[in-house]
Chains A and B, each alone.
Chain A
Amino acid sequence: MKKWFIIFITIITVSAALVGCYGGGAEQSSGSDKGDSDSKNVKQEITVNAMTEPPAIDPAMATDTTSGWVLDHIFEGLYTRDKDGEPTLGAAEKVDVSDDGKTYTFKLRDDAKWSDGSPVTAQDFEYAWKRVLNPDTGSAFAFYMYYIKGAEDYNKGKGSADKVGVKALDERTFQVELNAPIGYFDSLLTLWTFYPVQKSLVEDNKNWAAEADGYVSNGPFKMTEWKHDSEVIIEKNDEYYDKKAVNLKKVTFKLVNEATTYYQMFKTGDLDLIMTLPSDVIQSEKDSKEYKEVPYYGTYMYMFNVEKEPFTNKKIRKAFAMSIDRDALTKNVTMGGETPAYGMVPSGANTPNGDFREEGGDYFKEDAEKAKELLKEGMKEEGWDELPQVTLTYNTSEEHKKIAEAVQEMLKKNLDVSVKLNNQEWGTYLDTTKQHNYQMARMGWIGVFVDPVVNLDYYLGDSPNNRTGWVDKKFDDLMEKSKVEQDQDKRYELLHQAEERLMDEMPFMPVYFYMNNYLANTDVKDIAYFVNRYPYLKWAKKTN
């Protein structure tokens, strides 16, 4: 009897000891500080939802948008973005480009400093970039640096670090040599992979990026706390050269992954900004002032396997593409404000003549009658009396299922073709598509930086992404030419031609261009919504 109680008491005591494990302990209770905020002196602190634990808050290792979101706030590269999202000089104050467009010489700002007060040097940049390329680092995004001379060899383990075309000429001068000129180098340099890291810090501590303690960065904010799987806190960096432009003192990235939960936290005021809204929430919030739609630089598409019947035939591929009512699909099924897509490159890429998409226009029209004709012609060409059974494969998710079912219905209705649906768990799915073991399969592609090249490169003959089996010399040549073209007008012209060729061959059919949906507290002003990144909070301020 008594012993039984002892066990019980032990359990209770242990749990009491564990009460210390809640985390901070000193945290404010939710919502309690709302009433007493002085209207003139608003606490410049906001809480946003980043959904998942950032896998790597390390410029060399990050490959995902969540890590990128934090990195964009705490670091700054040679180029950064202005309020419109256009690349503008950041940690560098001046750049000289050689006449052949291959050598860039950057002059770093005198007042570019790390959050510990020490200067950001050209050596830091050199070290950071070579660290990305070092095969031992195992950086996934290293290939974004292959434009640099000697980079690919070094990363492949063939060359050496000394032969890589990045060099600190002195403390403030940083030189980059490219294999060939590229027209979008400034845009590329805003990618986090090109951010500097503090050489001494990284060399001394292998695990420097695992915790917030001792973390040093050079952006508008600095990371002060990282409670894994719970929250990341960044605070204003007083060493930042442009600190006058930064209003917020503190931003908390909460890591709440359940849609209903973060929506309720937004409703109770625990969160000031949430994204990835479930469709029922979009429906009910669509007209509220807090709702915001921002184009996301990506394309939702169905790939055709051109090695497998019936998609070996171009006309049949086109027939499928023309039988989908994208307007109905985006309005009634996805409902997040997505734009129907009739090309590969989404809106958002600015060219001297305006938006690339608008300039390029639509490459095909939905037309059930024409589609039926094309299907008939295609079957005749191949000598089929009956269309081989088509299976549409997608990765397991409610959202993709809804879309696939709608597409299935539309194909039945408009083309009189019955397709089977098949879904696979994501990891298995990637394997299946990589082995070209499908007929028609869903895929999404989001540009890491905004330039048509990123989207069109997807279907290069030797791109690891191109799982359609479609290899086209003409398309590859046009892309190749566009990459060395120095004249911007001509470069975009070549890209338009490449897209035209791609859409004419149609190894995939575009469905829609992505849209990001946000709910943002209307008291938070000047949040910058960029096309292909999460909201940038450098200039944001709280007004109430």
Chain B
Amino acid sequence: MYIVKRFVTMLLTIWVIASLTFIIMKFIPGDPFASDADVLPEHVLDNMRAKYHLDEPIPVQYVLYLKSLVMFDLGPSIQSETRSVNSIIASGFPASATLGIQAIIVAVVFGLLLGIIAALYHNRLLDYISMVIAIIGISVPSFILAPLLINYFAVKWGMLPVASWGSFQHSILPSIALATTPLAVIARFMRSSMIEVMNQNYMKTADAKGLSSFKIVFNHGIRNAILPVVSFMGPLFVSLITGTFVIEKIFAIPGIGKYFVDSIFNRDYPVIMGTTVFFSVILVVTLFLIDISYRFIDPRIKLTSKGD
């Protein structure tokens, strides 16, 4: 029952997002057909508008859009005239997702490690070192870090390719650049949450029972401390796997990150809608999965709609 209810809510959410985006999008001044070579006579523009149904009244466009959305057809791109939004997403998403997942793995593994170490050595040297690393990670923007990585690992030392896409080697530098900020955020989250858990009575009880400190930290400490990190992981995961504008641009990665931004500048209406809907679908589904995963991490949480 809970799952059905959630599913309906998910659909509603997506519909609301799609409708709001559609309305806001229509408020942006400008025209997808205005360009550098703006020599087009008015009726040539009319032909082009007709092709994308932009000559219809806006409510009709909205209905047409929803209709094709239900059929999972996101329409043609106006900017890339020979391609459909479906094919843009299909060809760009794998690269973005690969990069995002690699970055997530790096961020989670090292972020948790750093956070746990910091918490266990609270207010000691290792704690300070970890947190200095975390603060640097948060404050150095990726568009600074990425060229630095390229300059050393690719240009100076020749260990890895500068940019482009095609092999695992190509994905190493962008994954690291992409992982840094979330890594630092996870580390800080994990540290504070872990410190809190370590001071709980049940930890003392576990200690009093004579459990090994390894078991205390793993079975009782991390498992309880990780909950806040998991809820933060959902949106993070979605934003990483759907591509990032800066990293994809710097490393020339054929992902979908740039379409989120470029489509707005180009007034490429179908792509604006397509990327937004795609993003929201992934986000809503992920949040749902995260909700379910709480159940596994913490059996006290029950999947009921009333919360009893």
Name A's B-contacting residues (CB within 8 A): 1, 3-4, 7, 11-12, 14-15, 18-19, 21-25, 27, 29-31, 53, 55-58, 61, 63-64, 135-140, 142-143, 155-157, 207, 209-210, 227-231, 254-258, 260-262, 264-265, 267-268, 270, 425-428, 430-431, 434, 444, 446, 448, 463-465
A434 CB to nearest chain B CB (Å): 7
User: How far, in angstroms, from A64 to B170 measured CA to CA in the complex?
Assistant: 29
User: How far, in angstroms, from A402 to B71 measured CA to CA in the complex?
Assistant: 48
- A426 touching B265 by the CB < 8 A rule? yes
User: How far, in angstroms, from A425 to B251 measured CA to CA in the complex?
Assistant: 25
User: How far, in angstroms, from A28 to B75 measured CA to CA in the complex?
Assistant: 36
Give 8 new A-B contacts, CB below 8 A, not counting A18-B98, A270-B162, A464-B40: A21-B95, A22-B165, A29-B167, A135-B50, A264-B150, A264-B163, A428-B28, A431-B31
Q: A58 with B42: in contact, given A22-B171, A261-B252 (CB under 8 Å)?
A: no
B155 is an interface residue with CB less than 8 A from chain A: yes
B43 CB to nearest chain A CB (Å): 5
- A258 touching B252 by the CB < 8 A rule? yes
Residue from B34, B39, B43, B97 in contact with A434 in the complex, judged by beta carbons closer than 8 Å: B34
B296 is an interface residue with CB less than 8 A from chain A: yes
- B254 touching A18 by the CB < 8 A rule? no
- A464 touching B162 by the CB < 8 A rule? no
B13 is an interface residue with CB less than 8 A from chain A: no
Residue from A25, A61, A143 in contact with B39 in the complex, judged by beta carbons closer than 8 Å: A143
Q: Which of B222-276 contact A (CB under 8 A)?
A: 223, 226, 249-255, 258, 265-267
B79 is an interface residue with CB less than 8 A from chain A: yes
Q: A63 with B35: in contact, given A1-B219, A30-B162, A426-B265 (CB under 8 Å)?
A: yes
Instruction: Please list 6 pairs of residues, one from A and one from B, whose beta carbons are closer than 8 Å in the complex, sorted by A's number.
Output: A27-B166, A27-B167, A29-B167, A143-B39, A227-B254, A267-B155
Contacts of B150 in A (CB 8 A): 260-261, 264
- A57 touching B82 by the CB < 8 A rule? yes
B47 is an interface residue with CB less than 8 A from chain A: yes
Contacts of A61 in B (CB 8 A): 81-82
User: How far, in angstroms, from A446 to B219 measured CA to CA in the complex?
Assistant: 68
Contacts of B267 in A (CB 8 A): 427
User: How far, in angstroms, from A25 to B43 measured CA to CA in the complex?
Assistant: 47
The interface-forming segment of B57-65, B83-91, B134-142 is B83-91
User: How far, in angstroms, from A209 to B76 measured CA to CA in the complex?
Assistant: 14
Q: Which B residue sits closest to A12, measured CB to CB?
A: B105
B51 is an interface residue with CB less than 8 A from chain A: yes
Contacts of B83 in A (CB 8 A): 210, 228
- B39 touching A56 by the CB < 8 A rule? no
B48 is an interface residue with CB less than 8 A from chain A: yes
Contacts of B147 in A (CB 8 A): 260-261
User: How far, in angstroms, from A171 to B44 measured CA to CA in the complex?
Assistant: 31
How many interface residues does chain B have, given as a range?
Answer: 35 or more
Contacts of B30 in A (CB 8 A): 427-428, 430-431
Q: Which of B94-109 contact A (CB under 8 A)?
A: 94-95, 97-98, 101-102, 104-105
Residue of B95, B219, B250 with most partner-chain A CB within 10 A: B95
Residue of A31, A63, A155, A434 with most partner-chain B CB within 10 A: A63
**How many cross-chain pairs have Cβ atoms below 8 Å apart between A and B?**
207
Q: Which B residue sits closest to A425, measured CB to CB?
A: B265
- A264 touching B155 by the CB < 8 A rule? yes
User: How far, in angstroms, from A446 to B35 measured CA to CA in the complex?
Assistant: 12
- A264 touching B151 by the CB < 8 A rule? yes
User: How far, in angstroms, from A463 to B30 measured CA to CA in the complex?
Assistant: 19
B208 is an interface residue with CB less than 8 A from chain A: no
- B250 touching A229 by the CB < 8 A rule? no
B2 is an interface residue with CB less than 8 A from chain A: no
B307 is an interface residue with CB less than 8 A from chain A: no
Contacts of B219 in A (CB 8 A): 1
B38 is an interface residue with CB less than 8 A from chain A: yes
- B97 touching A18 by the CB < 8 A rule? yes
- A427 touching B82 by the CB < 8 A rule? no
User: How far, in angstroms, from A258 to B91 measured CA to CA in the complex?
Assistant: 21
- A155 touching B43 by the CB < 8 A rule? yes
Contacts of B158 in A (CB 8 A): 31, 268
Contacts of A227 in B (CB 8 A): 91, 165, 254
User: How far, in angstroms, from A21 to B165 measured CA to CA in the complex?
Assistant: 10
B297 is an interface residue with CB less than 8 A from chain A: yes
- A29 touching B169 by the CB < 8 A rule? yes
- B80 touching A53 by the CB < 8 A rule? yes
User: How far, in angstroms, from A197 to B101 measured CA to CA in the complex?
Assistant: 42
- B47 touching A155 by the CB < 8 A rule? yes
- B43 touching A156 by the CB < 8 A rule? yes
Q: A19 with B168: in contact, given A3-B297, A58-B82 (CB under 8 Å)?
A: yes
User: How far, in angstroms, from A169 to B164 measured CA to CA in the complex?
Assistant: 49
Contacts of B293 in A (CB 8 A): 7
B1 CB to nearest chain A CB (Å): 23
- B168 touching A22 by the CB < 8 A rule? yes
- B38 touching A55 by the CB < 8 A rule? no
Contacts of A230 in B (CB 8 A): 95, 164-166, 252-254
Contacts of A270 in B (CB 8 A): 161-162, 164
- B162 touching A265 by the CB < 8 A rule? yes
Q: Which A residue sits closest to B83, measured CB to CB?
A: A210
Contacts of A463 in B (CB 8 A): 39
B17 is an interface residue with CB less than 8 A from chain A: no
B29 is an interface residue with CB less than 8 A from chain A: yes
Name the 8 nearest CB pairs between A and B, nearest first.
Answer: A427-B30, A229-B254, A21-B94, A138-B51, A230-B254, A256-B252, A430-B34, A27-B166
User: How far, in angstroms, from A228 to B51 measured CA to CA in the complex?
Assistant: 23
- B37 touching A63 by the CB < 8 A rule? yes
User: How far, in angstroms, from A265 to B255 measured CA to CA in the complex?
Assistant: 19
Contacts of A268 in B (CB 8 A): 154-155, 158, 162
Q: A155 with B44: in contact, given A22-B165, A22-B167, A257-B252 (CB under 8 Å)?
A: yes
Contacts of A3 in B (CB 8 A): 296-297
Q: A465 with B34: in contact, given A29-B169, A426-B265 (CB under 8 Å)?
A: no
B196 CB to nearest chain A CB (Å): 19
Contacts of A58 in B (CB 8 A): 81-82
User: How far, in angstroms, from A266 to B182 measured CA to CA in the complex?
Assistant: 32
Q: A254 with B48: in contact, given A4-B296, A210-B82, A261-B251 (CB under 8 Å)?
A: no
Q: A464 with B42: in contact, given A11-B104, A430-B34, A431-B30 (CB under 8 Å)?
A: yes
B218 is an interface residue with CB less than 8 A from chain A: yes
User: How far, in angstroms, from A524 to B182 measured CA to CA in the complex?
Assistant: 44
- B34 touching A431 by the CB < 8 A rule? yes
